[in-house]
Amino acid sequence: MSSQFQTIAALVVVALAVTWLVARAVRKRRQPGCGGDCGCPSRELKR
């Protein structure tokens, strides 16, 4: 894997990570809470 290709691949992964984190934060704004990460009721339990 050339150095240039590695740089492009790394930046794509970083962009995907940023997009996912931002989308997650926006979802949380709509439905504040831990999203089940902290052991509070999961969506399966809480409707």
The H-assigned helical ranges of the chain are 3-30
- Those residues whose C-beta lies under 8 Å from the C-beta of residue 42, and which sit 6 or more positions away, are 36
Question: What is the nearest approach in angstroms of another protein to the Cβ of residue 45?
Answer: 4
Question: What is the nearest approach in angstroms of another protein to the Cβ of residue 19?
Answer: 10
Considering only CA atoms, which of 15, 21, 19 is closest in space to residue 7? 15
Question: What is the nearest approach in angstroms of another protein to the Cβ of residue 22?
Answer: 10
Binding site for another protein (CB under 8 A): 1-3, 5-7, 9-11, 13-14, 17-18, 20-21, 24, 28-29, 32-34, 36-41, 44-47
